[in-house]
Amino acid sequence: MPGDGPGDGDAWQGTDVERARIAQELVAGLSGLPPPEVPAALCRTCVRLLPAVSGLSISVLGDGADMGVVLCASDGVAARLAEIQYTLGEGPCREAVRLGSPVFATDLTRVPDARRWPLFSVQAARAGVETVCSLPLAAAGGSLGTLDLYQKARGSLSGDHLRTALLVADAVTLAVLALDRVSPDFEGVVTWLAGAETDREEVHQATGMIMMQLGVSAEEALLRLRARAFAQGRTSTEVARAIIDRTMDLRDD
pLDDT tens digits, one per residue of 88-129 = 889 999 899 889 999 999 999 999 999 999 999 998 998 999
Average pLDDT for 36-53 = 90
CA distances from 9 to 6, 12, 16 (A): 8, 5, 11
- Going from N- to C-terminal start, the domains of the chain cover 8-182, 191-252
Helices (H) and strands (E) in the chain, counts: 10, 5
pLDDT at 173: 87
108 near 153, Cβ under 8 Å?
no
pLDDT at 120: 92
Where is pLDDT greater, at 106 or 238? 106
What mean pLDDT comes out for the span 80-92? 86
What's residue 208's pLDDT?
85
The whole-chain average pLDDT of the chain stands at 81
Percent of the chain with pLDDT strictly greater than 90? 32
Q: What is the pLDDT of residue 11?
A: 56
Nearest to 226 by CA among 240, 245, 242: 240
**Percentage of residues of the chain with pLDDT beyond 70:** 82
In this prediction, residues 44-62 reach a mean pLDDT of 91
DSSP state of 130: -
Better-predicted residue by pLDDT, 249 or 62: 249
pLDDT of residue 239: 86
Instruction: Write down the pLDDT at residue 86.
Output: 80
pLDDT of residue 179: 60
Indicate the fold that domain 191-252 takes in CATH: Arc Repressor Mutant, subunit A (1.10.10)
What's the average model confidence in pLDDT over 141-156?
87
User: Residue 206's pLDDT is what?
Assistant: 86
Q: What is the pTM of this model?
A: 0.74
pLDDT at residue 47 in the model: 95
Report the CATH number of the 8-182 domain.
Answer: 3.30.450.40
Q: What's the CA gap between 22 and 20, in Å, rounded?
A: 5
**pLDDT score of 51 more than 50:** yes
Q: How confident is the model at residue 192 (pLDDT cuts 50, 70, 90)?
A: very low
In this predicted structure, the answer to whether residue 217 has a pLDDT above a threshold of 90 is: no
pLDDT score of 195 more than 90: no
Cα–Cα nearest to 30, from 21, 17, 40, 20? 40
Please tell me the predicted confidence (pLDDT) of residue 10.
58
φ and ψ of 71, to 5 deg: -75, -45
- Give me the pLDDT at residue 186, please: 32
Say whether pLDDT at 229 is over 90.
no
**Spatial separation of the C-alpha atoms in residues 173 and 220, rounded to whole Å:** 32
